[in-house]
Amino acid sequence: MSITELTATERERILAKAALFAPPANVLPDGRRDLVGLSREELAAEMAEAGEKSFRAKQLWHWIYHQGVRDFAAMSTIAKPLQDKLAKRFVIGRPEVAADQLSQDETRKFLFRFRDHEAVETVYIPDPVEDRGAVCISSQVGCTLSCRFCHTGTQRLARNLSAAEIVGQFMAARDAYGEWPSPKSETPRLLSTIVLMGMGEPLYNYENVAKAMKIIMDGEGIALSRRRITLSTSGVVPMMDQAGEELGVNLAVSLHAVRDDLRDELVPLNRKYPIAELIAACRRYPAASNARRITFEYVMLKDLNDSEADARALVKLIAGLPAKVNLIPFNPWPGSKYETSSPAAIRKFADIVMNAGYASPVRTPRGQDILAACGQLKSAVQSAA
């Protein structure tokens, strides 16, 4: 088999596995269907089935995703009898806000609960200076990958999120800040970027993530540009090309180690897709350019991956790639076994990377007091043991 064929087989295997953890149907117990999360084509099909003209789908899209309306009665371009008819068949859903915590630094963490009572965490991280911020979105309830330093990795995968639940996290966060109607594409927004860096591995739930991102990027709705969306992966190589071609969003790669023996231990997925294959996939990533660099995330773990030799090996590894390196001081969580690197070690590491020509910002931990920082998210109830 050629490499391309191998990749295609591997991709099919990953998609088939994702289907085993499929979310439940987006229907209420009374039989009404949720319109959120449908593609434009699916929405048009719903209208056809209800005996309505196809332009209704366009109108609804506008009300749902541009205006942020949740009640058919507020849709002033639709006559009352049709509003009533729609309300009998459909809803415009949102996840339930099961918890809402504000950190001292204004980072805000939501626990969103879905109809089957599964829940995920979503975090809004405001820029400390400007009126804008990032929404950190989850893609799965739990994660299969068990990276050693990650809290989510201790929560077994319950299921994948649906497109509705992925878009719903962003819409519910926008509700909390009153950011409707959607600002025009390049006007400033408070919730200005999306990072798929919450719970779960987005490329192990590719189809739902892709559908959700297409809804969010649609110019007649939320209209967030692909340049304002970053997908973070621990390195699911066979899905990276597809994500790049179909979505063209920014890519972040959780590298964390420059040697396979150490990465095998920290990010067990490395045993399947080792560093050389991962970097090759980054070199092929279509949306990478000097204007849109690939972000390498590197969690700083004391005496494990933070030496000067590691920093030098890192710049060698990514030589020639349009990239920046985000250094993330390790965020502890209850029961975690690692320590974060010393500020001096982080500074030295950052200098070596920067002197080689790569931006190397050190990420300030945000929302640590409410366990909202990178790698601290977990929605399962902690066992008392």
DSSP, collapsed to helix, strand or coil, labels residue 245 as: helix
- Beta carbon of residue 94, minimum distance to ligand SF4 (angstroms, whole number): 24
**Contact pick of 43, 147, 223, 318 for ligand SF4 (by CB under 6 A):** 147
Q: Is 145 in the site for ligand SF4 (CB under 6 A)?
A: yes
CA distances from 297 to 37, 155, 183, 313 (A): 30, 22, 30, 15
User: Of the two residues 72 and 204, which places its CB atom closer to ligand SF4 in the complex?
Assistant: 204
- Per rule CB under 6 A, count of chain residues that contact ligand SF4: 11
Q: Which two tokens mark 247?
A: 């979505």
Structure tokens at 97: 């806000």
CB hemisphere CA count around 221 (13 angstroms): 25
Pick from 337, 265, 254: nearest CA to 295:
254
Would you list the DSSP string of 145-158? S--TT-SGGGSPP-
Taking CB within 5 to 8 Å according to partner kind, which of ligand SAH, ligand SF4, none is near residue 328? Answer: ligand SAH
Q: Which helix (H) or strand (E) segment is 124 a member of?
A: strand 119-126
Question: Which residue number is nearest to ligand SAH in terms of Cβ?
Answer: 375
* Residue 193 interface partner, choices ligand SF4, ligand SAH, none, CB cut-off 5-8 Å depending on type: none
DSSP code for 64: I
Q: What is the largest CA-CA distance in the chain?
A: 71
Contacted by 350, from ligand SAH, ligand SF4, none: CB < 5 to 8 Å by type: none
CB 200 within 8 A of CB 138: yes
Specify whether 5 is catalytic: no
At 256, the amino acid letter reads H
Cα angle, residue 339 at apex, residues 335 and 342 outer, rounded to 5°: 160
User: Which SS3 state, helix, strand or coil, does residue 254 take?
Assistant: strand
Q: Which of 23, 37, 95, 153 binds ligand SF4 (CB under 6 A)?
A: 153
Based on the residue annotation, tell me whether 52 is a catalytic residue of this protein.
no
- Which of 121, 165, 201, 297 is catalytic? The answer is 121
Nearer to ligand SF4, 182 or 234 (CB): 234
192 or 230: whose CB is closer to ligand SF4? 230
Q: Which is nearer to ligand SF4, 125 or 222 (CB)?
A: 125
When binding is defined by CB under 6 A, the residue of 57, 150, 217, 266 that contacts ligand SF4 is 150
119 vs 223, beta carbon nearer ligand SAH: 119
Q: x-or-dash pattern for ligand SF4, window 194-213, by CB under 6 A?
A: ------xx------------
The candidate with the shortest Cα–Cα distance to 135, out of 213, 218, 214, is 213
Q: Which is nearer to ligand SAH, 83 or 146 (CB)?
A: 146
Q: Which residue ranges make up the site for ligand SAH (CB under 6 A)?
A: 147, 149-150, 197, 201, 232-234, 254, 297, 299, 328, 330-331, 374-375
CB-CB contact of 78 with 86 (8 Å): yes
- Please give the residue ranges that form the binding site for ligand SF4 (CB under 6 A): 143, 145-147, 150, 152-153, 200-201, 234, 254
Active site residues: 121, 374
